[in-house]
Structure 1
Amino acid sequence: MNDSPGWATPGSSPSDGERPGAPADQPTPPASGPGWSAEQPPPGQWQSPAPQAPPQPQPGQGWGQQPGTPYGGPYGGQYGHPGGPGQWGKPPAAKPGVIPLRPLGLGEILDGAVATMRTHWRSVLPITLVVATVVQVISVVAQKYAMSDLAVTTDPDADIDASLNSIGTSMAVLLGAGFIGALGGLVATAMLTMIYSRAVLGQTSTVSTAWREARPQLLRLIGLTLLMALGAILLFVALLLPGILLQNPGLAIAGVFAAFPLFAWLWIKFSLASPALMLEKSTVFKSLARSSKLVKGTWWRIFGITALTTIITSIVSAIIVWPLTIVGMVAFGGGLSGIEDGTASTAWGALILSGIGAIIAQTIVMPIQSGVTVLLYVDQRIRREGLDLELARAAGVENYGTTGG
């Protein structure tokens, strides 16, 4: 096993009734030894390699699957079946990195994300700081020159065509800045994913190493993101179009109410596609299928953790950004009169202070959001595919998965 964090796409999960690595026409060998589930291999096959000479994978393989490597039964890893030997009173799970190698709880996922940012800050913070700074500089300039031309007036005799042209120009500039921001966020997410994959093993990663490992999959990640964005747009258009064509406001409103829950369901269903694509070195459509398989049966749990993370990070961002924004508007935007006529939001001082707050917030929030997604992916694979065995082997944990713990 090399130290590369890339994860090869696993084969059938334990629930498919096959032992990974076995030929399709060869039956699964019977389990041996007392107390072992029929779906688990003999304990002797789970011995970790000698730490001084870990096995090397074949080209294209990583943590996901190696020939003859078991996943550990339908309950994943060292846990066996309910009521099996060692099920009660087991010693604490091995923890070579930021998480214990067992199914994770909400607190452990959030703690793992924060612990990675705190322990590996030399790799994490430069990535998010650079990306956040570039994005905010572009955003501040775009707001200054786009919003300055957007007149705010209550005059009923104002030129409507000029106002519409101003709005169109401003929106185009802001959308362009938003696209650049999204692109920067994708680069940061790709690199952070590789850092978190190593942090799970207790390994460090430099910025250059993270970039080198993330770069081959970056175009696919961009394609995945654009595909999901296009799907969301088509979803809303399809549900709104009947009401618009029939000029029926009630039907259009019903389409909006139907679109949001459907969008949320699809978003969570494919929320693990990004780490699957990066860590399994898979294609766009295979990563979507992997995410759907991993999320199946646990949609509400993943939705709850994702929603809670979004709420926490939004609160943190608001606490940092809004005070600086208000101070900037009052101090540099002409006070209440500037806020009333709209000039306060385009003053250089107010924009710069707001941008500084956004840089600080994104530098802190971005690693947490990316980390929770990666750790949710790891957690689901531990629960479904016994990934903890492969992680333990990669981290050099001896005798992991045996009856002795």
Structure 2
Amino acid sequence: MKDTPGWASPGSAPSDGQEPGASDPADRPSGPQPADQPGARPQSPGTKWSDEQPPPAPWSAPAGPQNPAQPPPPPPPGPGWGTPPPPAGPDGYGHPGGRRGPGGHGAPGWGSGWGGPPPAVKPGVIPLRPLGVGEMLDGAVSTMRTYWRTVLGISLAIAIVFETAVVLLQGLVLDDTLDTAALSDPSAGLDEQTQAMGDVMRSSGLLLLITMLGILTGTALLAAVTSRAVLGKPVTLKEIWRDARRQLPRLLGLIALLLLITGGVAAVCLLPGILVTASGGGEGGAALISLGSLGAFALVVWLVVRFSLAAPALMLEKQGIKKALTRSAKLVRGSWWRMFGIQFLALVIANIISTIVVLPFALLGAAVSDDGIGGLLDAGSEYGWTYLIVSGVGSVVGSMITLPIAAGVTVLLYIDQRIRREALDLDLARAAGVQGYGSPVPGTRPGS
């Protein structure tokens, strides 16, 4: 039987093939034994413990006089062995129940004596190891709470720019071109309802595009804040601007290139339906446009997730545009659904919070507008400037709170992917000044 930690308690189990208490004849010294030898006891026929064998229950030195020529008994086990072994049980391993701990064979489980794997180092808002969804959300919220002046300042500037663009787009363009009255008219034909649905999809797509551009910009500018938060180091707006201003031209180029890619994919998907409709296809053209819209939506979502880590790579690695896109595709490869699920969950949570914040402003804007609150339920009503401005203020407040969550989760996803695939935790620990992190310890892996 092996006498190694994790398999059996040392010195407490009898040898295989022998009765408990029986001594091996080979272990007894040959020849006559002097009667006055210290430690010699007459052997009883029932119990035949040898002089070197410790008692089965407590781990202590044998009582009574010992042979001076005999080496002293082994010392009690150290803290690493856990609790002293109990008397031998029916399984022969010193434990009445047979198995003990996750390893079985009488081995103590993690935390009962061995101590288990060491806890991950956490110099900042996240532990330096592969992260779970809850840890990413908690890290994003902790970053916003710890560095609220810097985070809310950047978020407020981005929210003002993009929400102003949304208000101007709705007031100057969409209100004049969007006609959704056919959706609430039972007598409207299929062509009218299809056209109205297409108008809604185009307007929603434009607004969603502006929102995604705002998140992309916020992710890029807040990447430096999140990276400092991971290291537990302070940061100011001045430092963020000094780090980001050199990459701003490349960031604008990245945004323009992503717009061209997604716009080109959507145009290719919608082109057959547009051509059929222009040639007088009627219902066939409308059906092709609907199918093309679904295909364009799916491809755009796939591309957005595939290149979602390009902004953190651009800002934190000081990469060029092409290299940042390549890095994002490499980090996302094989984890697309995980990346999609985590970012979608973050967007859902952010939108719920934003809706709670924006709803009172929307009701107030509708109350002071010409159509009143009932205009919100009328599909054919147009949004007035009063409603757009008041609800836009609420959108700015909501975006200032929710943008750091969505952006922070994306940056932490980037860091998590690099920890999983490139052992970035070692570099982060060195940058944070953690002493001894990464030194080899038998049986353990740092940060695991």
Give the TM-score band, short-chain normalised.
0.5 to 0.7
1:223 aligns with 2:261: no
The residue that corresponds to 2:128 in the other structure is: 101
SS at match of 2:434: coil
| Cα distance in 1 for residues equivalent to 2:124 and 2:115 | 24
The residue that corresponds to 2:294 in the other structure is: 257
1:220 is displaced (CA, Å) by 1.0
1:299 counterpart (320, 329, 336):
336
| Cα distance in 1 for residues equivalent to 2:403 and 2:243 | 19
SS at match of 2:235: coil
The residue that corresponds to 1:201 in the other structure is: 231
Bigger CA drift: 390-399 or 316-325?
316-325
Aligned length: 302
| Cα distance in 2 for residues equivalent to 1:306 and 1:135 | 20
1:256 is displaced (CA, Å) by 2.9
| Cα distance in 2 for residues equivalent to 1:90 and 1:252 | 57
1:333 is displaced (CA, Å) by 3.4
Bigger CA drift: 128-137 or 321-330?
128-137
The 1:378–1:153 alpha-carbon spacing in structure 2 relative to 1, beyond 3 Å, is: closer
1:275 aligns with 2:305: no
> Structure 1 or 2: larger helix share?
1
| Cα distance in 2 for residues equivalent to 1:229 and 1:338 | 34
The residue that corresponds to 1:360 in the other structure is: 397
1:212 is displaced (CA, Å) by 0.9
The residue that corresponds to 1:243 in the other structure is: 273
Q: 1:89-127 deviations in whole A, cap 9, x for unaligned?
A: 212100011110000011111111110000110111111
1:395 aligns with 2:432: yes
| Cα distance in 2 for residues equivalent to 1:134 and 1:263 | 24
**Structure 1 length-normalised TM:** 0.66
The percentage of aligned residue pairs carrying the same residue is: 49
| Cα distance in 2 for residues equivalent to 1:310 and 1:384 | 25
| Cα distance in 2 for residues equivalent to 1:387 and 1:325 | 45
The residue that corresponds to 2:222 in the other structure is: 192
| Cα distance in 2 for residues equivalent to 1:90 and 1:323 | 50
The amino acid that maps onto 1:92 is P
CA RMSD of aligned residues (A): 3.4
The residue that corresponds to 1:117 in the other structure is: 144
Q: Confirm or deny: 8 A CA contact 1:333 1:343 kept in the other structure.
A: no
SS at match of 1:398: coil
Structure 1 ranges of 4+ moved more than 4 A: 137-154, 177-187, 336-344
1:130 is displaced (CA, Å) by 2.9
Which ranges of structure 2 fall in alignment gaps of 5 or more residues? 1-113, 182-201
Bigger relative contact order, structure 1 or 2 (CA pairs below 8 A, ≥6 apart): 1
SS at match of 1:200: helix
The residue that corresponds to 1:18 in the other structure is: none
The 1:267–1:187 alpha-carbon spacing in structure 2 relative to 1, beyond 3 Å, is: closer
1:279 is displaced (CA, Å) by 0.8
**Structure 2 length-normalised TM:** 0.60
Q: Confirm or deny: 8 A CA contact 2:305 2:339 kept in the other structure.
A: yes
The 1:222–1:88 alpha-carbon spacing in structure 2 relative to 1, beyond 3 Å, is: farther
The residue that corresponds to 1:35 in the other structure is: none
Which ranges of structure 1 fall in alignment gaps of 5 or more residues? 1-86, 155-170
The 1:147–1:252 alpha-carbon spacing in structure 2 relative to 1, beyond 3 Å, is: closer
1:259 is displaced (CA, Å) by 2.6
The amino acid that maps onto 1:271 is S
The 1:187–1:310 alpha-carbon spacing in structure 2 relative to 1, beyond 3 Å, is: closer
Larger Rg: 2
SS at match of 1:333: coil
| Cα distance in 2 for residues equivalent to 1:315 and 1:360 | 14
Q: 1:198-230 deviations in whole A, cap 9, x for unaligned?
A: 111001110111011011111111111111111
The 1:336–1:263 alpha-carbon spacing in structure 2 relative to 1, beyond 3 Å, is: closer
The amino acid that maps onto 1:263 is V
The residue that corresponds to 1:127 in the other structure is: 154
The amino acid that maps onto 2:274 is I
